[in-house]
Amino acid sequence: MQVYYSEAHRRHKPPFEIFDGGLRVPYLENPERMDRILKALQKTDWAEIAEPQDFGLNPIHAVHAEDYIAFLASAWTEWLASEARDKSTLLPATFALRRHPQKPTSLLGRAGYYMMDLSACIVAGTYSAALASANCALSAAEAVANGERAAFALCRPPGHHAGKDYAGGYCFINNAAVAANWLSTQGNVALLDIDYHCGNGTQDIFYERADVLTISIHADPNFEYPYYAGHANETGTGAGAGFHRNFPLDKGTDNARYLSALEEALSLIREFTPKYLVVSAGMDIYAEDPLGTIKVTTEGIAEIGKRIAALELPTAIVMEGGYNNAALGRNIVSLAGEFK
Protein backbone atom coordinates (compact mmCIF):
# COMPACT_ATOMS: atom_id res chain seq x y z
CA MET A 1 0.00 0.00 0.00
CA GLN A 2 1.25 3.48 -0.86
CA VAL A 3 1.61 5.67 2.23
CA TYR A 4 2.02 9.37 1.47
CA TYR A 5 4.03 11.33 4.01
CA SER A 6 5.93 14.61 4.14
CA GLU A 7 8.55 15.77 6.62
CA ALA A 8 7.04 19.26 6.22
CA HIS A 9 4.66 18.43 9.08
CA ARG A 10 7.51 19.10 11.53
CA ARG A 11 7.34 22.81 10.70
CA HIS A 12 4.04 22.96 12.56
CA LYS A 13 5.03 22.70 16.21
CA PRO A 14 3.14 25.12 18.45
CA PRO A 15 4.72 25.47 21.91
CA PHE A 16 1.38 25.10 23.72
CA GLU A 17 -2.39 25.01 23.45
CA ILE A 18 -5.06 26.24 25.85
CA PHE A 19 -7.49 23.79 27.43
CA ASP A 20 -10.87 24.55 28.97
CA GLY A 21 -10.53 26.98 31.86
CA GLY A 22 -7.42 28.61 30.40
CA LEU A 23 -4.93 25.86 31.26
CA ARG A 24 -1.82 26.14 29.04
CA VAL A 25 -0.55 22.66 28.15
CA PRO A 26 1.95 21.11 25.69
CA TYR A 27 0.48 20.75 22.20
CA LEU A 28 -1.05 17.28 21.95
CA GLU A 29 -1.11 17.21 18.14
CA ASN A 30 2.67 16.97 17.97
CA PRO A 31 5.30 15.59 15.54
CA GLU A 32 5.84 12.51 17.72
CA ARG A 33 2.49 11.21 16.52
CA MET A 34 3.85 10.78 13.00
CA ASP A 35 7.10 9.27 14.26
CA ARG A 36 5.20 6.55 16.10
CA ILE A 37 3.04 5.75 13.07
CA LEU A 38 5.98 5.73 10.66
CA LYS A 39 7.96 3.40 12.91
CA ALA A 40 5.04 0.95 13.06
CA LEU A 41 4.42 1.12 9.29
CA GLN A 42 8.09 0.54 8.51
CA LYS A 43 7.93 -2.76 10.40
CA THR A 44 5.22 -4.09 8.07
CA ASP A 45 5.79 -5.81 4.74
CA TRP A 46 3.07 -3.85 2.93
CA ALA A 47 3.60 -0.13 3.56
CA GLU A 48 5.55 1.80 0.89
CA ILE A 49 6.35 5.32 2.10
CA ALA A 50 6.28 7.95 -0.66
CA GLU A 51 6.50 11.73 -0.96
CA PRO A 52 3.28 13.45 -2.03
CA GLN A 53 2.98 15.34 -5.29
CA ASP A 54 2.30 19.06 -5.32
CA PHE A 55 -1.21 19.64 -6.70
CA GLY A 56 -1.14 23.43 -6.34
CA LEU A 57 -3.88 25.54 -4.79
CA ASN A 58 -6.75 24.83 -7.19
CA PRO A 59 -7.98 21.64 -5.43
CA ILE A 60 -7.81 23.48 -2.10
CA HIS A 61 -9.64 26.54 -3.39
CA ALA A 62 -12.33 24.19 -4.72
CA VAL A 63 -13.15 23.38 -1.08
CA HIS A 64 -12.02 26.39 0.95
CA ALA A 65 -12.67 30.12 0.50
CA GLU A 66 -9.72 31.79 -1.20
CA ASP A 67 -9.65 34.62 1.35
CA TYR A 68 -9.33 32.06 4.17
CA ILE A 69 -6.39 30.32 2.49
CA ALA A 70 -4.79 33.71 1.88
CA PHE A 71 -5.16 34.44 5.62
CA LEU A 72 -3.36 31.18 6.48
CA ALA A 73 -0.58 32.11 4.05
CA SER A 74 0.03 35.60 5.48
CA ALA A 75 -0.99 35.33 9.14
CA TRP A 76 2.41 34.46 10.61
CA THR A 77 4.27 37.24 8.78
CA GLU A 78 1.64 39.73 9.92
CA TRP A 79 1.85 38.42 13.48
CA LEU A 80 5.62 38.93 13.61
CA ALA A 81 5.14 42.50 12.38
CA SER A 82 2.46 43.21 14.99
CA GLU A 83 2.87 44.77 18.42
CA ALA A 84 1.98 41.57 20.28
CA ARG A 85 4.11 40.93 23.38
CA ASP A 86 4.14 37.12 23.06
CA LYS A 87 4.74 36.15 19.45
CA SER A 88 5.34 32.44 20.08
CA THR A 89 2.00 31.52 18.51
CA LEU A 90 -0.89 33.38 16.90
CA LEU A 91 -4.06 32.96 18.96
CA PRO A 92 -6.92 35.46 19.10
CA ALA A 93 -8.90 36.17 22.26
CA THR A 94 -12.19 36.92 20.49
CA PHE A 95 -14.08 34.66 18.09
CA ALA A 96 -16.83 35.49 15.61
CA LEU A 97 -20.30 34.15 16.28
CA ARG A 98 -21.20 32.75 12.86
CA ARG A 99 -24.58 34.41 12.50
CA HIS A 100 -24.02 37.56 10.45
CA PRO A 101 -20.47 38.57 11.32
CA GLN A 102 -18.57 41.41 9.76
CA LYS A 103 -15.02 40.55 8.73
CA PRO A 104 -12.59 43.02 10.34
CA THR A 105 -9.43 44.23 8.66
CA SER A 106 -7.15 43.83 11.71
CA LEU A 107 -5.07 40.68 12.08
CA LEU A 108 -6.57 39.63 15.41
CA GLY A 109 -10.05 40.41 14.12
CA ARG A 110 -9.48 38.22 11.06
CA ALA A 111 -7.89 35.53 13.23
CA GLY A 112 -11.03 35.38 15.36
CA TYR A 113 -13.13 35.32 12.19
CA TYR A 114 -11.20 32.47 10.56
CA MET A 115 -10.38 30.45 13.69
CA MET A 116 -12.88 28.45 15.71
CA ASP A 117 -11.00 27.77 18.94
CA LEU A 118 -7.74 27.92 20.88
CA SER A 119 -6.26 24.70 19.48
CA ALA A 120 -5.84 26.07 15.95
CA CYS A 121 -2.50 27.64 16.85
CA ILE A 122 -0.59 29.26 13.99
CA VAL A 123 3.21 29.27 14.03
CA ALA A 124 5.91 29.84 11.40
CA GLY A 125 5.49 26.54 9.56
CA THR A 126 1.76 26.00 9.90
CA TYR A 127 0.77 26.99 6.38
CA SER A 128 3.47 25.00 4.60
CA ALA A 129 2.74 21.96 6.78
CA ALA A 130 -0.98 22.23 6.04
CA LEU A 131 -0.32 22.42 2.28
CA ALA A 132 1.88 19.32 2.44
CA SER A 133 -0.79 17.52 4.44
CA ALA A 134 -3.42 18.30 1.82
CA ASN A 135 -1.05 17.07 -0.89
CA CYS A 136 -0.69 13.76 0.97
CA ALA A 137 -4.47 13.33 0.83
CA LEU A 138 -4.61 14.33 -2.84
CA SER A 139 -1.82 11.88 -3.67
CA ALA A 140 -3.76 9.08 -1.97
CA ALA A 141 -6.87 10.08 -3.91
CA GLU A 142 -4.96 10.03 -7.18
CA ALA A 143 -3.54 6.59 -6.37
CA VAL A 144 -6.98 5.04 -5.91
CA ALA A 145 -8.32 6.89 -8.97
CA ASN A 146 -5.49 5.26 -10.92
CA GLY A 147 -6.49 1.79 -9.80
CA GLU A 148 -4.92 1.19 -6.39
CA ARG A 149 -7.14 -0.78 -3.99
CA ALA A 150 -6.28 1.60 -1.16
CA ALA A 151 -3.79 4.30 -0.23
CA PHE A 152 -3.00 5.95 3.09
CA ALA A 153 -2.39 9.68 3.57
CA LEU A 154 -0.33 10.18 6.71
CA CYS A 155 -1.58 13.73 7.21
CA ARG A 156 -0.42 16.19 9.80
CA PRO A 157 -1.94 18.63 10.61
CA PRO A 158 -5.24 16.74 10.49
CA GLY A 159 -8.18 18.32 8.71
CA HIS A 160 -11.74 17.31 9.49
CA HIS A 161 -12.56 20.25 11.80
CA ALA A 162 -11.58 22.82 9.15
CA GLY A 163 -14.63 24.24 7.39
CA LYS A 164 -14.99 26.26 4.24
CA ASP A 165 -13.45 29.34 5.81
CA TYR A 166 -12.28 28.48 9.31
CA ALA A 167 -9.68 26.49 11.24
CA GLY A 168 -10.32 24.57 14.44
CA GLY A 169 -9.47 21.46 16.44
CA TYR A 170 -5.84 21.30 15.25
CA CYS A 171 -7.09 21.50 11.62
CA PHE A 172 -6.40 24.14 8.95
CA ILE A 173 -7.10 22.55 5.55
CA ASN A 174 -9.67 19.77 5.36
CA ASN A 175 -7.51 17.08 3.80
CA ALA A 176 -10.23 14.43 3.49
CA ALA A 177 -12.68 16.92 2.00
CA VAL A 178 -10.10 18.13 -0.52
CA ALA A 179 -9.45 14.50 -1.53
CA ALA A 180 -13.17 13.65 -1.70
CA ASN A 181 -13.96 16.73 -3.77
CA TRP A 182 -11.11 15.92 -6.18
CA LEU A 183 -12.43 12.36 -6.59
CA SER A 184 -16.01 13.59 -7.03
CA THR A 185 -15.15 14.86 -10.51
CA GLN A 186 -14.84 11.19 -11.52
CA GLY A 187 -17.87 9.74 -9.73
CA ASN A 188 -19.85 9.81 -6.50
CA VAL A 189 -17.86 9.61 -3.28
CA ALA A 190 -18.68 8.44 0.24
CA LEU A 191 -16.71 10.01 3.08
CA LEU A 192 -16.78 8.08 6.36
CA ASP A 193 -15.37 9.80 9.44
CA ILE A 194 -14.46 7.47 12.32
CA ASP A 195 -12.64 10.05 14.45
CA TYR A 196 -13.78 10.40 18.08
CA HIS A 197 -14.88 13.98 17.38
CA CYS A 198 -17.51 15.02 14.85
CA GLY A 199 -16.12 16.05 11.48
CA ASN A 200 -17.87 19.41 11.63
CA GLY A 201 -15.72 20.95 8.89
CA THR A 202 -16.48 18.11 6.50
CA GLN A 203 -20.16 18.45 7.31
CA ASP A 204 -19.98 22.18 6.60
CA ILE A 205 -18.25 21.69 3.25
CA PHE A 206 -20.59 19.06 1.78
CA TYR A 207 -23.86 19.82 3.61
CA GLU A 208 -25.65 21.05 0.48
CA ARG A 209 -24.26 18.46 -1.94
CA ALA A 210 -25.66 15.14 -3.11
CA ASP A 211 -22.58 13.80 -4.92
CA VAL A 212 -20.59 13.24 -1.72
CA LEU A 213 -22.28 11.22 1.02
CA THR A 214 -20.78 12.24 4.36
CA ILE A 215 -21.11 10.15 7.52
CA SER A 216 -19.57 10.85 10.91
CA ILE A 217 -19.51 8.43 13.86
CA HIS A 218 -18.43 10.30 16.96
CA ALA A 219 -18.96 11.21 20.61
CA ASP A 220 -22.25 12.98 21.21
CA PRO A 221 -21.74 16.75 20.83
CA ASN A 222 -24.09 17.31 23.74
CA PHE A 223 -21.07 16.58 25.94
CA GLU A 224 -18.09 16.65 23.56
CA TYR A 225 -16.24 18.98 21.19
CA PRO A 226 -17.20 20.53 18.79
CA TYR A 227 -20.57 20.87 20.61
CA TYR A 228 -22.36 22.85 17.89
CA ALA A 229 -22.36 20.25 15.10
CA GLY A 230 -22.75 16.50 14.84
CA HIS A 231 -26.28 15.96 16.14
CA ALA A 232 -28.38 13.17 14.68
CA ASN A 233 -30.98 15.55 13.22
CA GLU A 234 -28.38 17.27 10.99
CA THR A 235 -28.88 15.44 7.68
CA GLY A 236 -28.07 17.97 4.96
CA THR A 237 -30.03 20.72 3.29
CA GLY A 238 -31.09 21.73 -0.22
CA ALA A 239 -29.69 19.31 -2.78
CA GLY A 240 -27.78 17.66 0.06
CA ALA A 241 -30.86 16.77 2.14
CA GLY A 242 -30.44 13.19 3.28
CA PHE A 243 -26.82 12.97 2.13
CA HIS A 244 -25.25 13.66 5.51
CA ARG A 245 -25.61 11.48 8.61
CA ASN A 246 -24.28 11.76 12.14
CA PHE A 247 -24.07 8.86 14.60
CA PRO A 248 -23.51 10.42 18.05
CA LEU A 249 -22.33 7.91 20.67
CA ASP A 250 -22.48 7.85 24.46
CA LYS A 251 -19.53 7.94 26.83
CA GLY A 252 -18.13 4.48 27.39
CA THR A 253 -19.23 3.13 23.99
CA ASP A 254 -17.53 -0.26 23.58
CA ASN A 255 -16.58 -2.35 20.56
CA ALA A 256 -20.03 -3.89 20.15
CA ARG A 257 -21.92 -0.58 20.27
CA TYR A 258 -19.44 1.11 17.96
CA LEU A 259 -19.59 -1.71 15.42
CA SER A 260 -23.38 -1.57 15.50
CA ALA A 261 -23.28 2.12 14.51
CA LEU A 262 -20.66 1.31 11.88
CA GLU A 263 -22.93 -1.31 10.31
CA GLU A 264 -25.67 1.31 9.94
CA ALA A 265 -23.19 3.64 8.29
CA LEU A 266 -21.91 0.94 5.95
CA SER A 267 -25.47 0.11 4.90
CA LEU A 268 -25.96 3.74 3.90
CA ILE A 269 -22.76 3.64 1.86
CA ARG A 270 -23.85 0.46 0.06
CA GLU A 271 -27.19 2.07 -0.81
CA PHE A 272 -25.39 5.14 -2.16
CA THR A 273 -23.18 2.94 -4.43
CA PRO A 274 -20.23 5.35 -4.59
CA LYS A 275 -17.32 4.93 -6.96
CA TYR A 276 -14.79 5.89 -4.27
CA LEU A 277 -14.51 5.94 -0.49
CA VAL A 278 -12.56 8.36 1.69
CA VAL A 279 -12.05 7.43 5.36
CA SER A 280 -11.19 10.08 7.95
CA ALA A 281 -9.23 7.82 10.27
CA GLY A 282 -9.09 9.21 13.80
CA MET A 283 -7.59 6.88 16.38
CA ASP A 284 -8.90 8.84 19.35
CA ILE A 285 -11.74 6.30 19.55
CA TYR A 286 -9.13 4.11 21.27
CA ALA A 287 -10.02 3.20 24.85
CA GLU A 288 -6.96 4.88 26.38
CA ASP A 289 -6.85 8.08 24.33
CA PRO A 290 -6.36 11.15 26.56
CA LEU A 291 -9.02 13.17 24.70
CA GLY A 292 -11.63 10.43 24.33
CA THR A 293 -14.38 8.67 26.27
CA ILE A 294 -15.12 5.91 23.73
CA LYS A 295 -13.68 2.53 24.67
CA VAL A 296 -12.77 0.82 21.41
CA THR A 297 -9.81 -1.57 21.69
CA THR A 298 -7.02 -2.20 19.19
CA GLU A 299 -8.85 -5.39 18.23
CA GLY A 300 -12.00 -3.33 17.71
CA ILE A 301 -10.10 -0.93 15.46
CA ALA A 302 -8.92 -3.88 13.35
CA GLU A 303 -12.52 -5.06 13.04
CA ILE A 304 -13.58 -1.57 11.95
CA GLY A 305 -10.94 -1.73 9.23
CA LYS A 306 -12.04 -5.21 8.18
CA ARG A 307 -15.68 -4.19 7.81
CA ILE A 308 -14.89 -1.01 5.88
CA ALA A 309 -12.51 -2.91 3.60
CA ALA A 310 -15.31 -5.43 2.91
CA LEU A 311 -17.09 -2.69 0.93
CA GLU A 312 -14.45 -3.40 -1.72
CA LEU A 313 -14.30 0.23 -2.82
CA PRO A 314 -11.17 2.09 -3.92
CA THR A 315 -10.34 3.76 -0.60
CA ALA A 316 -8.23 6.75 0.39
CA ILE A 317 -7.52 6.59 4.13
CA VAL A 318 -6.72 10.00 5.60
CA MET A 319 -5.13 10.42 9.03
CA GLU A 320 -7.02 12.56 11.52
CA GLY A 321 -6.74 12.51 15.33
CA GLY A 322 -5.39 10.09 17.93
CA TYR A 323 -3.31 11.24 20.89
CA ASN A 324 -2.18 8.14 22.76
CA ASN A 325 1.21 8.15 21.07
CA ALA A 326 2.29 4.86 22.60
CA ALA A 327 -0.58 3.01 20.90
CA LEU A 328 -1.00 5.16 17.79
CA GLY A 329 1.23 3.19 15.44
CA ARG A 330 -0.22 -0.14 16.52
CA ASN A 331 -3.76 1.10 16.01
CA ILE A 332 -3.09 2.54 12.55
CA VAL A 333 -1.43 -0.69 11.40
CA SER A 334 -4.43 -2.62 12.74
CA LEU A 335 -6.83 -0.47 10.72
CA ALA A 336 -4.90 0.07 7.49
CA GLY A 337 -3.55 -3.47 7.42
CA GLU A 338 -7.06 -4.73 6.63
CA PHE A 339 -6.85 -2.97 3.23
CA LYS A 340 -3.52 -4.39 2.08
Q: What is the pLDDT of residue 297?
A: 98
Which neighbouring-strand residues pair with 247? 217
Q: Output the domain CATH number for residue 267.
A: 3.40.800.20
- Residue 225: inside a domain: yes
Residue 170's pLDDT band (boundaries 50, 70, 90)? Answer: very high
Q: What is the pLDDT of residue 246?
A: 98
- As for how many domains the chain has, the answer is 1
The average pLDDT across 161-174 equals 98
Q: What is the pLDDT of residue 102?
A: 87
Q: Of the given ranges (90-99, 138-147, 209-218, 233-242), which has the lowest mean pLDDT?
A: 90-99
The average pLDDT across 74-84 equals 96
Q: What is the pLDDT of residue 168?
A: 97
- Residue 26: inside a domain: yes
- Residue 321: inside a domain: yes
Residue 97's pLDDT band (boundaries 50, 70, 90)? Answer: confident
pLDDT tens string 111-145: 999 999 999 999 999 999 999 999 999 999 999 99
Q: What is the pLDDT of residue 101?
A: 80
- Over the chain, what is the mean pLDDT? 97
Q: What is the pLDDT of residue 196?
A: 98
78 vs 102: which has the higher pLDDT: 78
- Residue 92: inside a domain: no
The average pLDDT across 153-168 equals 98
Q: What is the pLDDT of residue 98?
A: 78
The average pLDDT across 274-282 equals 98
- Residue 94: inside a domain: no
Spatial distance between the Cα atoms of 282 and 170, rounded to a whole number of angstroms: 13
Per the CB < 8 A criterion, the answer to whether 52 and 152 are in contact is: no
Q: What is the pLDDT of residue 137?
A: 99
312 burial type by CB count under 10 A (0-12 exposed, 13-18 middle, 19+ buried): exposed
pLDDT tens string 182-209: 999 999 999 999 999 999 999 999 999 9
Q: How far is residue 237 from each of residues 101, 197, 203, 206, 241, measured CA to CA in Å? A: 22, 22, 11, 10, 4
Residue 100's pLDDT band (boundaries 50, 70, 90)? Answer: confident
Contacts of 301 (CB under 8 A, 6+ apart): 283, 285, 286, 331, 334, 335
71 vs 103: which has the higher pLDDT: 71
pLDDT tens string 325-334: 999 999 999 9
- Residue 115: inside a domain: no
- Residue 322: inside a domain: yes
Other CB atoms within 10 Å distance of the CB of residue 51: 14
Spatial distance between the Cα atoms of 285 and 298, rounded to a whole number of angstroms: 10
- Whole-model pTM: value is 0.97
Q: What is the pLDDT of residue 29?
A: 98
Q: What is the pLDDT of residue 77?
A: 97
Q: Which domain holds residue 141?
A: 2-55+128-339
- Residue 68: inside a domain: no
Residues marked active site are found at 161
Q: Of the given ranges (4-8, 18-22, 165-169), which has the lowest mean pLDDT?
A: 18-22
State yes or no: pLDDT of 99 exceeds 90. no
